[in-house]
Chain A
């Protein structure tokens, strides 16, 4: 297999082609545009045999895929920030209707004010819509997670959002190993070839319900969601057999020895990892917990990764803020740690607005939490450290 240089959006477009998607429907928005343009190019050149439909809005794009998915087709869309927010009503609908749709969201800050920065609030504020969410850390992972997702959604009938940072991953070139078509075909189910309903079999889909029935539906969705971490693990074994690459639900680095663990998602975790590798001779022993599967949050996995007595401090890096509460990853982690014996401190380091993480900034944060233990409970703002 030839290794290739490509950016996140190109990798995503290729994954869509390899996954034999039947209907792609999208609306352009920076920094997602080159992804859909790439698919359109392949479509125009006959390389992508599925349908590519340009519609008038993100609202219509997801409505269109809900329709195509009702019919049984394999579907894909991609968006970012305002576009994802505009899809909100349909995100709930797709999850409620148990439609196996795969969506890429390229993280970008939501206005106002206008910004192109890779803030994560766009996807995080959709966390309760009932979609699976993966946060990718590099370009290879974008391609692999997307291919993986088409299998996952068709097996579980829960839609999946694959998330990565705008520009930092969408437009940055890395060396990746594209799969062979046979490998992808082997991993995925064969593309649907029959309609999901028949006109000679009358049925009503998603009609009005009473509270008792609805409560069962919601309970069922919740229970199905709880099974996702286990299913992802199983499918990952299969993925590894075929592609010789494997992805954890959540990734730990140096957690057996660390006294201070930095928690991050997406490309921020890569930045932290290189920080761990380059900085020697320091008084803290540093570790990293990378959040990858965020919905559902793999509770047992994370609890066990953080269960060592060696861990005294956790620093959660959030590139988002829920105004009046704080970083969303920090919030989620605090809730999760309620259930386990971790008694250390949790610090919040916030890069909302898309602030870039630098080694110098990382040093300042570590210094701040060691000099001022009282900074637990306060937010350390990246913008104050620049």
Chain B
């Protein structure tokens, strides 16, 4: 289906060593891949998030590109403005890539994303989703999954609502391109960044990025967890063109039970059998919907 494992990556590093990420940081790995595909000829816009720290504290910086910081809720509008401003002064080439966390995307930034998507602003909006407000110490976001603890949903009052379906929200705006990706499938990730670069208008990429610190998972299984998320179908890899043409990019040979993914993470430690069954059931339902939309039979 896709070249799932290795991608065709430039040898040049645009993310420099000595950055501020914690060990095993999923968002750092994602950024390294994104930069390898997109950094030359692109500027990166970063709202408040872990990445506003990882990108460096003055006078240090970890990205070999132009990085523009902006307030937490402002990413999409600032990105759109940068692109419009560049065009106004005669630069129509430079790509604008917004890199926001799940908080800056699903929650406080949603208004701006909806507006930018509706206007079909010519930017690439990448959400790295570590499923909570990690920069401020793991408070819940609307991307935090059902059953997860966080500093503001401590056990036994773990999150009781499901994760918001951001892909459907974005797709409802009929944007030219939207895709999910993970760092466990770098080839797929790289293709999607490439496709986004080649498309005009509002492009959205949702990348699941485990956070060992916040998820209570060992730092050396970040990539493995990303893979398990896909193999359990908790986080399917797919694309949506023009809000309507769905395409599944990876069909697991065997469907792993969700517990394989949940078990190594302390944030799900309080889940009982019934709750795990509930998660499995919602995965099956979501998968059925997705198969229907993508025309997948299995």
Contacts and interface: CB of A to CB of B under 8 A. Distances in A.
A210 B58 contact: yes
A53 B118 CA distance: 12
B82 interface: yes
Nearest to B62: A204
Interface string B32-45: 00000000111101
B82 A194 contact: no
A206 B69 contact: yes
A68 to B, nearest CB: 3
Contact of B56 (A60, A196, A204): A204
A350 interface: no
B241 interface: no
Contact of A53 (B52, B68, B89, B119): B119
A208 interface: yes
A63 B84 contact: no
Given A67-B78, A209-B58, A56 B114 contact: yes
B74 A50 contact: no
A304 B43 CA distance: 50
B77 A64 contact: yes
Interface residues of A, number: 48
Nearest to B73: A59
A204 B74 contact: no
A23 B80 CA distance: 11
Contacts of A198: 66
B81 to A, nearest CB: 2
A32 B85 CA distance: 24
Contact of A194 (B40, B67, B81, B89): B89
A199 B65 contact: yes
B70 interface: yes
Given A202-B64, A213-B58, A70 B85 contact: yes
Interface in A66-83: 66-75
B82 to A, nearest CB: 4
Interface in A179-219: 192-210, 213
A87 B57 CA distance: 26
Contacts of A201: 66
A188 B118 CA distance: 35
Given A68-B82, A90-B74, A195-B86, A203 B66 contact: yes
Contacts of B104: none
A302 B166 CA distance: 56
A89 interface: yes
Given A68-B84, A207-B52, A208-B57, A202 B63 contact: yes
Interface in A240-286: none
Contacts of B77: 55, 59-61, 63-64, 67
A70 B74 contact: no
A43 interface: no
B115 interface: yes
Given A22-B89, A51-B84, A207-B52, A59 B74 contact: yes
A90 B87 CA distance: 22
Contact of B58 (A23, A56, A200, A207): A207
Contacts of A209: 57-58
B89 A195 contact: yes
Nearest to A199: B41
B1 interface: no
Contacts of B200: none
A307 interface: no
A194 to B, nearest CB: 6
Contacts of B118: 56
B43 A199 contact: yes
11 contacts: A23-B81, A59-B77, A60-B74, A60-B77, A60-B112, A64-B81, A67-B70, A68-B88, A71-B86, A74-B88, A208-B58
Given A23-B84, A195-B91, 15 more contacts: A22-B88, A50-B88, A57-B111, A59-B74, A63-B74, A65-B81, A66-B70, A66-B81, A67-B45, A67-B80, A71-B81, A72-B89, A202-B65, A206-B68, A208-B52
Interface of B: 40-43, 45, 52-53, 55-58, 61, 63-71, 73-74, 76-91, 94, 111-112, 114-115, 118-119
Interface of A: 22-23, 25, 50-51, 53, 55-57, 59-61, 63-75, 89-90, 93, 192-210, 213
